[in-house]
Amino acid sequence: MNNIPKKTRGKNCSKYKWHFTGSICGDEINKKYSSLCCFLDEWGGEKTILNLNKYKLIRLKKKWRNGSKSPESRADPTDAFFAKHWRVNIDAIDETRPCKITRSVVYLE
């Protein structure tokens, strides 16, 4: 059979999809990203004490907003930890990225 995925999305997207504002572990953030993976390249893994991965980021995006947990989410033993270190608002946006054209010099012999 055909093992080619139907739709693949790379990091080189022409639009910003997410706007992150707030603070992560005391570091301020106010930046736009074209994907959640681009955010994780900068803040994921062992770069913070949160050890962010894609699944944890999606859960935090759904449950937490500016240091407070949504009321419909059930209590968790890690609530105090995330309330202290995760004070981020993630807003979905659809903004065109500015085009950067770099010119390279070509030498012909």
Report the pLDDT value the prediction gives residue 6, as an integer from 0 to 100. 45
Whether the pLDDT of residue 16 is over 60: the answer is yes
pLDDT on residue 100: 66
**Is residue 56 a part of any domain in this protein?**
yes
Domain range for 76: 35-96
In a domain, 80, yes or no: yes
Counting residues of the chain whose pLDDT is more than 70, the rounded percentage is: 72
Query: What Rg value do the Cα atoms of the chain yield, rounded?
Result: 18
Domains contained in the chain, number: 1
CB atoms near residue 51 (< 10 Å)? 10
85 in any annotated domain: yes
Taking the C-alpha atoms of residue 93 and residue 84, their distance in angstroms, rounded to an integer, is 26
pTM score:
0.70
For residue 21, being part of any structural domain is answered with no
3-class SS at 42?
helix
Rounded alpha-carbon distances, angstroms, from residue 86 to 51, 100, 106: 12, 32, 48
| Position 76 in a domain | yes
Residue 63 domain-assigned? yes
Domain assignment of residue 25, yes or no: no
Going by the DSSP 8-state scheme, the letter that residue 82 receives in this structure is: H
Retrieve residue 60's tokens: 């935090």
Please report whether residue 12 resides in a domain: no
